[in-house]
């Protein structure tokens, strides 16, 4: 059991916590529960989870706030639990980096399937090697300012990035030298929403090249690996 994935359930509803703990425990997972963000942070210090099942509506720091804090420091997968009426919060949560969501009331069997799918996807991704969330990251003669979401060129001029471009560049900086397939890029940038944007990767790469390459027609930072995907070829370091 000690080698089984550790799932943290964060929900202020005791019945939901107990239901999920019991069901996942019966299927071989190690499960811990927390009733709010503070309790989860204490839990995380002693036993970091492999995946977090996170309710959005909680007293104090809500699920969106906790997701934002987690994403600033950790790539741990997150599955949101949301009420049907919370479409806006659900979308915001996915944009913050949540990997999936499930609406309440939910079937524990479906939650189990979502957990398995997210863990499979995460385990199939290449390991992060770059300083993804540093304040500033240098690559070649350019610097990404993470907080401002802009790239500083060698002339000192700042070029703003769209949300999609910022995510894509972040993925490349996290995996320097790795050949990333289109499917991997979709999973790493968009998670569950990838099916909506399954033809956007090439367009986003082209747009990003226009902002960071000296000559986008002859790219040297983001190489095309025909039949396999794309490769970020430049060394990176904190700026």
For 39, 52, 128, 138, 172, the CA distances from 177, given in Å and listed in that order, are 39, 30, 11, 15, 9
194, pLDDT greater than 50: no
Q: Tell me if the pTM is above 0.75.
A: no
Q: What average pLDDT does the segment 74-93 reach?
A: 75
Please report which confidence band the pLDDT of residue 198 belongs to, taking 50, 70 and 90 as the band edges: very low
Domain count, the chain: 2
The predicted model gives 84-89 an average pLDDT of: 62
% helix / strand / coil in the chain, to the nearest 5?
40, 20, 35
Domain's final residue, options 90, 123, 156:
123
Domain stops at, among 123, 154, 171: 123
With respect to residue 128, please indicate whether it lies within any of the assigned structural domains. Answer: no
Print the domain residue range for 156: 136-238
Last residue of a domain, one of 100, 123, 146: 123
């Amino acid at each position: 059991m000690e080698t089984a994935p550790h799932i943290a359930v964060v929900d202020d509803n005791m019945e939901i916590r107990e239901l999920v703990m019991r069901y996942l425990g019966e299927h071989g997972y190690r499960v811990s529960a927390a009733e709010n963000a503070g309790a989860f942070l204490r839990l995380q210090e002693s036993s970091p989870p492999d995946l977090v099942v996170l309710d959005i509506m909680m007293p104090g720091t809500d699920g969106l706030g906790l997701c934002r804090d987690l994403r600033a420091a950790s790539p741990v997968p997150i599955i949101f639990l949301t009420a049907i009426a919370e479409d806006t919060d659900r979308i915001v949560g996915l944009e913050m980096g949540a990997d999936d969501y499930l609406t309440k009331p939910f079937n524990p069997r479906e939650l189990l399937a979502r957990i398995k799918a997210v863990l499979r996807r995460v385990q199939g991704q290449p390991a992060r090697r770059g300083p993804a969330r540093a304040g500033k990251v240098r690559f070649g003669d350019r610097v990404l300012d993470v907080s401002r979401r802009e790239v500083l060129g060698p002339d000192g001029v700042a070029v703003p990035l769209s949300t999609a471009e910022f995510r894509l560049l972040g993925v490349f900086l996290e995996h320097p030298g790795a050949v990333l397939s289109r499917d991997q890029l979709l999973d790493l940038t968009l998670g569950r929403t990838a099916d909506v944007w399954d033809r956007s990767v090439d367009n986003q790469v082209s747009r990003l090249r226009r902002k960071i390459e000296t000559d986008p027609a002859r790219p040297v930072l983001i190489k095309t690996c025909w039949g396999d995907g794309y490769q970020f070829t430049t060394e990176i370091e904190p700026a």
